[in-house]
Amino acid sequence: MTNDLIVVGAGPAGCAAALMAASLGQHVTVIEPGRVGGKLHEIGALENVPGAWETGPALAQSVAADLARIQKAGRCDLIQERAVSVAGHDDRAEVALTDGQVLAASAVVVATGVAPLTTGTCDWITAPADLELPPLWRARPEELQGRTYVLGADRPLGTWLRSHPDASRRLHVVYPPADHYKTDEVRHDDRVRLNRVDHVTVTRERYGQGYEVVVEGPEWSRTYAVDTLLGNLGSRPAALEGLVQKAGGYCPSEEQHPRVLTAGDVRSARFQRIVTAQGSGAEAALSRYYTAQAPASANASMAVRKEALRMSRDLVAMIDVEGMR
């Protein structure tokens, strides 16, 4: 077993874990099927990340350079493959990949992030089974035609508005009560019309390319003809098989095997932000490092105590001998 640590996922949390472990002299293997930086590539504008970063792709490029640096130093390997499961054992942790490989290390940090929700997985939406909405974050202002509706008020709404300050198209955002707290950052933007609803029904128009959207409240219902329909539904933890999942599908580290740690937004919703995700990744690697050092420290302390006891006994014996003379 040549790996001290395996990190699954090369987003903000995973890269922070890899960098922290490498800085402690550990050898790390990072498993990432996509681009290093993960969803950073999808963020058009940054406002709350220290370091004067203005866009996600710029930060992703820097993070990728950091990972390349520790690869060049021989402290990290990058495997471009998808992980399917994780398991902890008394003497190791293992990660199984889609190609059949099983990698082992002293510990594993799982930082697989989240996967997007779909209309089929949201109980407040009824829509055709084959409906795949283009995501809001990918939409360009010039592509929005006619009456534009957005399903869901997840965080990318504010990011999109900041990324396109000159966009004039009004966005009609319909969202469930659970998303209400997320609307605070966009509530005063004149380009957004917020509609809190209990249920939405979407059907394709029989003729043309648009949609019919029926929105319902506690005691009311309205029907709209919509030209452009976008998804902004939020996400769910992308948990690997073998992880213990709790409320909302999240996988807290304290619920896992001692050799399996989680980081970023697969661990908790509070680590969805870039900075908190990075912190959780670094903390996971650091805590495992200290845990691994604890037995050695305990053994060293025991050896010192044994030596002190031996010296004490020798001293007592010498005193007894002197007393007999």
Q: What is the pLDDT of residues 18-35, one digit of tens each?
A: 999 999 999 999 999 999
Model confidence pLDDT, tens digit, residues 284-322? 999 999 988 876 554 554 555 555 555 545 544 544 444
Q: Are 67 and 10 in contact (CB under 8 A)?
A: yes
Model confidence pLDDT, tens digit, residues 108-128? 999 999 998 999 999 999 999
What residues contact 8, with CB distance under 8 A and at least 6 apart? 14, 31, 83, 86, 95, 108, 109, 110, 111, 112, 240
Strand-strand pairing, 93-97 and 83-88:
antiparallel
Q: Rounded distance, CA 260 to CA 242, Å?
A: 10
Please count the other Cβ atoms lying within 10 Å of the Cβ belonging to residue 302.
Answer: 10
Q: What is the CATH number of domain 3-116+235-299?
A: 3.50.50.60
Q: Residue 31 has what pLDDT?
A: 98
Query: What are the residue ranges spanned by the domains of the chain?
Result: 3-116+235-299, 119-231
Strand-strand pairing, 125-126 and 199-204:
parallel
Question: The dihedral of CA 61, 282, 233, 172: what is its sign?
Answer: negative
Q: Are 158 and 47 in contact (CB under 8 A)?
A: no
Q: Are 251 and 271 in contact (CB under 8 A)?
A: no
pTM above threshold 0.75? yes
Model confidence pLDDT, tens digit, residues 143-157? 999 999 999 999 899
Q: Rounded distance, CA 272 to CA 4, Å?
A: 26
Q: Which tokens belong to 3?
A: 């790996």
Q: Domain 119-231, what fold?
A: FAD/NAD(P)-binding domain (3.50.50)
